[in-house]
Chains A and B, each alone.
Chain A
Amino acid sequence: MAGKVTFDENRCKGCELCTTVCPVKIVVMDKDKINIKGYHPATVKEMDKCIACGSCARMCPDVVIKVEKL
């Protein structure tokens, strides 16, 4: 696991832009959850595949994502 992403879920507007830029395709919309704005927030289930490239965070219009590298 090279990287770890955390989502400030209540800032997410469910626009899905982040899901289109993850090189390892692990950023998905969390269909089990609704955030304060009423959207499915973005999330990562298979964190171990994350390479901490930061693309998802850079594509996000709402600074929802924080990316850390181990």
Chain B
Amino acid sequence: MAVVFEKTKGLTEKPTHYCPGCTHGIIHRLVAESLEELGLLDKAVGVAPVGCAVFAYDYFSCDMQEAAHGRAPACATGIKRVHPDSAVFTYQGDGDLASIGAAEIVHAAMRGEKVTTIFVNNAIYGMTGGQMAPTTLVGQKATTAPLGRDENHCGMPLRISEMLATIPKAVFVERVSVHDVPNILKAKKAIKKAFEIQMKGLGFTIVEVLSTCPTNWGKTPVEALKWLKENMVPYYPVQNFRTPEEVK
């Protein structure tokens, strides 16, 4: 019996606390598998955000740090500068990265920090119960936008990947999704490539992953995948925005 698929050593044994059907679990797996397959688990250091993924330090089997809300890229900068040969990644949600941590991510990219950011965009604040995020879609309801996001009141959602792709040292910028198996496979490829580029020391790498939040979207897990495909993908096109010449 050949094993086609089994749990990666990059994840610990601890079951996750995520809500049923929340795709954080899939994204954790893709990051952990990538590190394992690239032989990087032994020198990886991950930085967990504040948000639903705040307990990620218990789920990844490599060394981890828990950063203050929005500050994971700064924390990762400190780690990578101390251990330049390590594989450093931040795992952040849209509240953490696109809101309070917007300056940190822009400047980590500006400096070309040789780290990989996994940016999970689920268009809402999950852990705190469904508030509007910078990535919340126009018209999408949230506990702080009860009638739906009004663009005249609080603007349009932030397209982080497109923004960061304008920064010279952000050498690899790709948006992926996990709403179906083909997309999951592509997401894995992008995440793995980001780590490879990091280890080549070419510059800052980020993979934005469109993700679901069944609980705060008020949908079943299966409906949430469908909602993501029909509403988020049109506004957040799934594509590569930048790849270094050396890797093309």
A and B touch in the complex (CB under 8 A): yes
Contact with B along A21-57 (1 / 0, CB 8 A): 1000000000000000001000000000000111101
Asked if B169 CB lies within 8 Å of chain A CBs, one says no
Q: Which of A61, A63, A69 has the most C-beta atoms of chain B within 10 angstroms of its own C-beta?
A: A61
Contact yes or no, A67 B222, CB < 8 A? no
Q: How far is the CB of B28 from chain A (nearest CB, A)?
A: 8
Report the bound CA distance from A13 to B21 in whole Å: 8
Contact yes or no, A69 B26, CB < 8 A? no
Interface size class of A (residues with CB under 8 A): 20 to 34
Q: How far is the CB of B49 from chain A (nearest CB, A)?
A: 18
Contact yes or no, B21 A58, CB < 8 A? no
Which listed segment binds A: B100-108, B178-186, B194-202, B234-242? B178-186
Asked if B175 CB lies within 8 Å of chain A CBs, one says no
Q: How far is the CB of A52 from chain B (nearest CB, A)?
A: 5
Please give me the residue from chain B that is nearest to A15 by CB atom.
B21
Contact yes or no, B22 A68, CB < 8 A? no
Asked if B29 CB lies within 8 Å of chain A CBs, one says yes
Contact yes or no, A59 B26, CB < 8 A? yes
B15 contact from A57, A58, A62, Cβ within 8 A: A62
Asked if B6 CB lies within 8 Å of chain A CBs, one says yes
Please give me the residue from chain A that is nearest to B220 by CB atom.
A16
Report the bound CA distance from A13 to B3 in whole Å: 24
Residues of B within 8 A of A70 (CB): 1
Residues of A within 8 A of B21 (CB): 13, 15-17, 61
Please give me the residue from chain B that is nearest to A16 by CB atom.
B222
B16 contact from A54, A55, A62, Cβ within 8 A: A62
Contact yes or no, A20 B222, CB < 8 A? yes
Contact yes or no, A17 B1, CB < 8 A? no
A57 contact from B5, B11, B23, B220, Cβ within 8 A: B5
Contact flag A16-B221 (CB < 8 Å), given A61-B21, A63-B25: yes
A65 contact from B1, B5, B15, B16, Cβ within 8 A: B5
> Which parts of B9-60 form the interface with A (CB within 8 Å)?
11, 15-16, 18-26, 29
Report the bound CA distance from A57 to B179 in whole Å: 14
B25 contact from A39, A52, A53, A61, Cβ within 8 A: A61
Asked if B7 CB lies within 8 Å of chain A CBs, one says yes
Q: How far is the CB of A2 from chain B (nearest CB, A)?
A: 10
Q: 6 tightest A-B contacts by CB? A: A61-B25, A15-B21, A13-B20, A15-B20, A15-B221, A57-B5
Chain B interface residues toward A at CB < 8 A: 1-8, 11, 15-16, 18-26, 29, 180-181, 184-185, 214, 220-222, 225
